[in-house]
Amino acid sequence: MAIANYTMEKVIDESVQGSALITDLADQNNRKLYIESYGCQMNFSDSEIVASILATEGFNTTDQLEEADLVLVNTCSIREKAESNVRKRLEKFNAVKKTKPHMRVGVLGCMAERLKSKLLEEEKIVDMVVGPDAYKDLPNLIREIDEGRNAVNVILSKDETYGDIAPVRLNSNGVTALVSITRGCDNMCTFCVVPFTRGRERSRDPQSIAQEVNELWEQGYREVTLLGQNVDSYLWYGGGLKKDLDKASEIQKATAVDFAGLLALVAESQPKMRIRFSTSNPQDMTLEVVRTMAKYQNICSHIHLPVQSGSNRILKAMNRLHTREEYMTLIDNIRSIIPDCGISQDIIAGFPTETEKDHRDTLSLMDYVKYDFGFMFSYSERPGTMAAKKLKDDVPETIKKKRLQEIIDLQRKHCLYRTKQYLGKTEEVLIEGSSKKSDAHWMGRTSANTVVVFPKKHYKAGDFVNVKIKDCTSATLFGDAVGLTENNG
């Protein structure tokens, strides 16, 4: 594994953790792993990679915390609340450990990367701290904790993509799966901790992505979501960081595969597999990607396109490299190429210096787009980011809350506007599983990602069915299945 020169830290803490060693108490080849994931889909996907690595070390996963020999928590640092939730969970693990002293606890993911060995000092329950690029080192790190030492590896890599590992599908519905295609982010939005916790952008070999998708199809999966912090910057030229493309040979540059190319490759290699992707970035998304979506019937008509703010002044302060007008033009182009494309957003309320006028700009942009749905947050200052260094977190909490509520209320209105457009129409739905509220109903999604609930009849999970839409709330469509579509089989 090549280690980049922005290597952070690798520490094996020699402090002995007491005499009750895990080796003494559990059968090494039949240990139980309990893994909990927080935050973005990438973390959930990474946990599947971790489960796969640990399966070869004799760990079987369990969903019962009390029977675990090793507890791992895959963490998120994106907002302060995400971190405090994890700290609360660690308290719960601590209570369990009191009755099971040989249980070991590891922290994975973004909090591990951000806090490094400080986590061992702050949270006494933690035995092991492992950053998002260091999971292949887990067998060694576990050996360390087995011998009673704490272990830390938070080295960020320039080429680790885990492309060679077949994930163990956790909590799977057997129909939809996550496939990671890029890691890291080079965009440096000033509010965001991700470039620090996940390192620089790297792309995964397209052949290994296509192979994973093919294997998923063989196993019965019918939908994949291609994952990356910023999928539009996907670029494969034989490996290495995106920023090092200049150093590539002419042949490498000429045969490079970009995101549009990857989408086409996956869509063609599995023409009946539904393909989704997340997350797009307005400054990096090309119209070639949108045209490729339109060209292949199996690429879903949905784009998650975070905007963060509708104010040019705030977008600039966020280091988002597009204006409100450019974003609106992109939306117009998407709608002219794919008229019924579902579009969703991420928006932050109360970024430093945000005025009432900036906030109204966000509301008016939302009115323009009328997003199908969205994820809305109030600004949370993250240590080490440009915004934390340069800008005072000066919007009072009460104002942040009020603006966030206005954004949420407007989004709810737009959600209902969008779901009502479906009434009386017939939509193709992929059945994912039973509805959470009723065992007599299936739940699935339209291509545009809207949830549909309908009576089960003789259909089964994994079927593509036509559903006639009869009713809706702002979040859900209700209807009746009227037959299988030609996509089955």
- Residue ranges in contact with ligand 5AD by CB under 6 A: 78-79, 191-192, 306, 308, 346, 348, 377, 379-380, 382
Say which DSSP state 310 is in. Answer: S
Q: Which of 277, 60, 86 is CA-nearest to residue 170? A: 60
In angstroms, the CA 464 to CA 486 distance is 8
Residue 404 or 431: the one with the smaller Cβ distance to ligand SF4 is: 404
User: Which residue, 222 or 400, has its beta carbon nearer to ligand 5AD?
Assistant: 400
Residue closer to ligand 5AD by CB (options 126, 410) is 410
Nearest alpha-carbon partner for 438 in 451, 426, 456: 456
The minimum distance between CB 283 and ligand 5AD, in angstroms, equals 13
Toward ligand SF4, which CB reaches closer, 192 or 209? 192
Q: Which of 35, 194, 226, 285 binds ligand SF4 (CB under 6 A)?
A: 194
Q: Per CB under 6 A, does 189 bind ligand SF4?
A: yes
**Which partner from the list ligand 5AD, ligand SF4, none does 163 bind, CB cut-off 5 to 8 Å by kind?**
none
What is the Cα–Cα distance from 363 to 330, expressed in whole angstroms? 18
Give the one entry of ligand SF4, ligand 5AD, none that residue 229 binds, where binding means its C-beta sits below a cut-off of 5 to 8 angstroms depending on kind: ligand SF4
Q: How far apart are CA 231 and CA 260, in angstroms?
A: 10
Q: Determine the distance from the C-alpha atom of residue 258 to the mean position of all C-alpha atoms in its chain, rounded to a whole number.
A: 20
169 closest CA partner among 215, 205, 108, 128:
215
Residue 230 binds which of ligand 5AD, ligand SF4, none (CB < 5-8 A, kind-dependent): ligand SF4
C-beta closer to ligand SF4: residue 259 or 478: 259
Tell me the per-residue interface mask from 122 to 161 with ligand SF4, x by CB under 6 A, - otherwise.
----------------------------------------
Strands (E) across 435-475 are located at: 441-445, 451-455, 464-472
Residue 377 binds: one of ligand SF4, ligand 5AD, none (C-beta under 5 to 8 A by kind): ligand 5AD
Q: Tell the residue number behind the tokens 């020699």, with chain if given.
A: 14
Q: Does 109 bind ligand SF4 (CB under 6 A)?
A: no
- What are φ and ψ of residue 85, in 5° steps? -60, -40
C-alpha to C-alpha distances, 81 to 76, 378, 397, nearest whole angstrom: 9, 11, 14
Indicate the residue type of 443: M
Minimum separation from the CB atom of position 74 to ligand SF4 (A):
17
The nearer residue to ligand SF4, 16 or 188, going by C-beta atoms, is 188
Partner that binds at residue 373, options ligand SF4, ligand 5AD, none, CB closer than 5 to 8 Å by kind: none
Per DSSP, the three-state class of 443 is: strand
CA–CA dist 223, 152 (Å, integer)? 36
SS3 assignment, position 248: coil
> Rule CB under 6 A: is residue 229 a binding residue for ligand SF4?
yes
Q: Which of 84, 82, 73, 80 is nearest to 39 (CA)?
A: 82
Produce one character per residue of 184-217: b if its CB has 16 or more CB atoms within 10 Å, e if not: bbbbebbbbbbbbbbbbbbbbbbebbbebbeebb
Strand, coil or helix: 245: helix
d(CA 297, CA 292): 10
Which option in ligand 5AD, ligand SF4, none does residue 185 bind, with CB closer than 5 to 8 A by kind? ligand SF4
Output the residue with the shortest Cβ distance to ligand 5AD. Answer: 346
Q: Choose among 135, 133, 129, 136: nearest CA to 150.
A: 129
Q: Which is nearer to ligand 5AD, 192 or 227 (CB)?
A: 192
Beta strand spans in 133-197 (E)? 149-153, 176-180, 182-183
Maximum distance among all Cα pairs of the chain, rounded to whole angstroms = 68
Q: Is residue 195 part of the contact set for ligand SF4 (CB under 6 A)?
A: yes
DSSP label at 478?
A: E
Interacting span for ligand SF4 (CB under 6 A) from 26-34, 119-127, 181-189, 336-344? 181-189
Considering CB distances under 5 to 8 angstroms, the limit depending on partner class, which of ligand SF4, ligand 5AD, none binds residue 382? ligand 5AD
- 40 vs 216, beta carbon nearer ligand 5AD: 40
**Residues 275-294, interacting with ligand SF4 (CB under 6 A):** 281
Least distance from ligand SF4 to the Cβ atom of residue 285, Å: 11
Minimum distance of ligand 5AD from residue 44's CB (angstroms):
14
CB 384 → ligand SF4: shortest distance, Å? 13
Side by side, the strands of the sheet bearing 128-130 are 10-16, 149-153, 128-130, 104-109, 70-75, 31-37, 59-61
Interface pick for ligand SF4 out of 176, 230, 309, 344 (rule CB under 6 A): 230
Among 176, 187, 225, 385, binds ligand SF4 (CB under 6 A): 187
Residue 57: contacted member of ligand SF4, ligand 5AD, none (CB under 5 to 8 Å, by partner type):
none
* Residue 257 binding partner per list ligand 5AD, ligand SF4, none, with a CB distance cut-off of 5 to 8 Å that depends on partner kind: none
Q: Which of these segments, 59-67, 189-197, 202-210, 432-440, binds ligand SF4 (CB under 6 A)?
A: 189-197
Q: Number of residues interacting with ligand SF4: please give it, by CB under 6 A.
A: 10
Q: Which of 42, 68, 185, 451 binds ligand SF4 (CB under 6 A)?
A: 185
**Which residues sit at the interface with ligand SF4, rule CB under 6 A?**
185, 187-189, 192, 194-195, 229-230, 281
